Amino acid sequence: MGMQDGYEKELLEWYREQFFLRNKYKDTPPGLRSAEQEAFAQEQLKEAEARYRESCVVRLLSHYEPPEEIFVGREEILRRVEEALAAKNDPVVLYGMGGMGKSAIAREYLRRRGGEYDNVLFLFGDEGIITVICDDFQVQVSNMQYSRDKYGNRNNYFREKICALEQIAREKKLLLVIDNWDRPFDKGMEEVFSLDCDILVTTRIAPTVWGLAGGIQVNGFKEAGEWSAFLSAYGKTAGSGEEQRELEQYCRRVGGHPLFMKLKAGEGAEAPVGAESKDRYSADTEEELVRFLKNLFSCYALRKEEKQVLRELSVMPVQGIPLSLYQKISGVSEPALKRLETFQLVSCSGNPEEQVLSLHPLVAETAARIFSPTLTNCRKMVSAFCDSIWNMWSNTYIENQKLEPYVFALVRAFPSPTAWMAGELEKLSTWLWIQGYYEEAKHWQKKIFDCTEKYYGGNHQMTGEMALRMAAVYYNSMNREEADRWYRKAYQVLRQCEPMDSRHKRLLAIVCGKLSRNYRSAGEIDLASEYLDKAVHYFQQYCDLYKRSRHPRTHELSIEIEGTSFRFYRARILAAQGRYEEAERICLEVREDILSIEGEEIRVNEFDTLYIELLAKKGDFSAAIRLAKEDLERAVFYRGPVFKDTLLCREMLGDVYLAAGAAEEAGKEYHLLFLEVCRCFPYRKDWADRVNAKILRAEMGDCRMDGLQFFPSTS
């Protein structure tokens, strides 16, 4: 927030100084020569001051509402939690072995006392406190969103987030619950514990490791009355005296462990301790507990499909995955899920319309150890998930954002991609750069390219395709030099390699089209035209092969969309040659074609960039302004407020305003753009300088078309 506040404060001071000077020197060209101009400028200053005040407001947007669930006993522990939080000394820590019900106790406390707080945060600490605080899904703070360009790294963003939470805690009554924080040493722990709010932590480790004096230990149920009440709540009742004795023996063997008692209530099987006879099972160490759970898995005689479900869910985020999404990507049968739910190995919670599948952390950990998830034995799920996100380009920013936990879960679970899944795994890197995770996309796509080149060699169609995807990552992160290098590499490989299938011609068409675009941007129109001719030639060959083969092209862009791109490139070249009428005619045709394809509205923005420029050149500013506004609104909806394409749409709108003579409106757009460029793309000084020059032109009222360069968005 410090960097953002500095830019906004400096911009506000600039506004004030400009108003003072223009008001003082009324007889100069920029001066406020009339009462109407002065009133308008004063209104602009008030708007800038209001924006600055709003940007300084810090609000916590996240709030947790605990779900309804079965809860039995634990009144003494709840009383101790309440007393410890009221004392406001150290954070209150519930600690004990996995599955003892620590999280359930925390949720029950929230159901009973959560209404006394202005805000409640319920966070999952399994990945480290810096990661969870920086997670803008779990901790949403107004005027804050992580960006590597803005903050440099997550450590800097973490410090800014802590400062924001500290300010919120001073003004509001805040309860922070950190669930499953099982790290003996965690960077950032001291900053979190120093927050001036109520803090409740659940963990498997003793709080003395963190330097805290004590905590509240959570053990299993100890008395027969507690066992009976707990088991009855989950539908397990003992009939005869013999059944009662067997239940009591089981409870002793598992030490009254709530998780295993729930499993017993669901299954009703014999105690999962094997042939050894023990009056009481002792789980003094994590290893013993894991061994116990392994025995429990074997006791249930899990079927192949059920084991696969546990294997796949073990790599998902700790908060689980929507049932509908998992069914879509796994093809799991209803009976398999029902059996796992009966065994309490899988939890299905939430509203009927939004049910979430999850594993208890200990179950997930043990399933991962036993069933060893890999890209080989999870290929069906991973491939189906990658296929399910293929329409990400047509999704809104919010729709794509919902997939973030699962994309990162797969990238973390399988850090070493395989060449034979390169086509599927590449979709993850595409999702990453579309959502603005450029560094992560580069890292992941580079690993895909390296393993592909190692497996297939440097002269193979798949190697060329992955080089083309690598170029897309760099191009959309606005590193044009690296993008051009990778486009040339892809072209060289694809030209030299033997075709693997008909897609070879399509890939050549795409890379030639991209090279044509690069040459046109560099002003080399003849080369741009030459490579576009090659692109159209290869694309026509591909279309002919497709018509003959009739093979399915799963999730490939349609021929119509690909064809419109090449026609648009042609229009760009014609415009660069001064053939504006021909260029405008093509723009209108491709715009109409793309709008006729359902679900592809966002692609109109790319084609509108040239059309808007041509409208401005012939003086039809009302139409140009209307289209520029529509494109900006569409970009915000589909890509978010600070995505590269959105900012370029704002620049286009400012350009049109300036060309139309509306210098005040243009200046407003340029000022907003300048702030966002400085915040989100600080390394792009050339962009900031370009916008700053336009600000000066707007202030001077220089609305000449000569020298005004339009900068269209890219895809």
pLDDT digit string (tens) for 643-697?
878 888 898 898 888 888 888 888 888 888 888 888 877 777 888 888 888 888 8
Is the predicted pLDDT of residue 5 greater than 70, yes or no? no
pLDDT at residue 689, as a whole number: 87
Per DSSP (E only), the strands in 603-669 are none
User: Which band of pLDDT confidence, cut at 50, 70 and 90, is reported for residue 19?
Assistant: low
At 265 the pLDDT is 65
DSSP 26: T
Confidence bin at 53 (pLDDT 50/70/90): low
Q: Which residues pair with 343 in a beta bridge?
A: none
**Does the structure show a pLDDT above 50 at 707?**
no
Tell me the average pLDDT across 635-640. Answer: 84
CA–CA dist 210, 208 (Å, integer): 5
What confidence tens digit (pLDDT) does each residue in 69-104 have? Answer: 778 788 888 888 888 888 887 888 888 767 778 888
Which tokens hold the place of 390? 């293929």
Q: What is the DSSP string of 683-703?
A: T-HHHHHHHHHHHHHHHHT--
Amino acid at 266: G
**pLDDT over 70 percentage in the chain:** 81
Amino acid at 550: R
Poorest-confidence range of 175-184, 267-276, 354-363?
A: 267-276
* Mean pLDDT rounded to a whole number for the chain: 80
Confidence class of residue 208 from pLDDT cuts 50, 70 and 90?
A: confident
3-state helix, strand, coil in the chain (%, to 5): 65, 5, 30
What value does the mean pLDDT take over residues 333-362?
80
What is the C-alpha to C-alpha distance for residues 216 and 206, in angstroms, rounded to an integer? 9
For residue 170 the two structure tokens come to 């001073």
The CA distance from 127 to 415, in Å, is: 16
What distance in Å separates the CA atoms of residue 422 and residue 288, rounded to the nearest whole number?
Answer: 40
User: What DSSP element (H or E) covers 633?
Assistant: helix 621-639
Average pLDDT over residues 288-316: 79
Of 437, 493, 508, the closest CA to residue 463 belongs to 493
Radius of gyration of the chain (CA): 31
- Specify the pTM: 0.67
Mapped to the 3 state alphabet, what secondary structure does 121-184 carry?
EEEECCCCHHHHHHCCCCCCECCCCCCHHHHCCHHHHHHHHHHHHHHHHHHCCEEEEEECCCCC
pLDDT of residue 57 exceeding 70, the answer is: no
Separation CA 215–CA 96 (nearest Å) = 10
| 427 pLDDT tier (thresholds 50, 70, 90) | very high
Q: Residue 279 has what pLDDT?
A: 31
Count CB-CB contacts under 10 A for residue 45: 16
Residue 450's pLDDT is: 96
pLDDT at 83: 87
How high is the pLDDT of residue 413? Answer: 93
Mean pLDDT of the 29-45 span: 70
Look at residue 554 in the predicted model and tell me its pLDDT. 44
Asked whether residue 714 carries a pLDDT value surpassing 80, the answer given is no
Residue with tokens 């349609």: 558
> CA–CA separation, 670 vs 691, rounded Å?
6
pLDDT digits (tens, 9 = 90+) for 492-532: 999 999 999 888 999 999 999 999 999 988 889 999 999 99
Region 614-620: mean pLDDT is 86
Backbone phi, psi, residue 88, to 5°: 50, 45
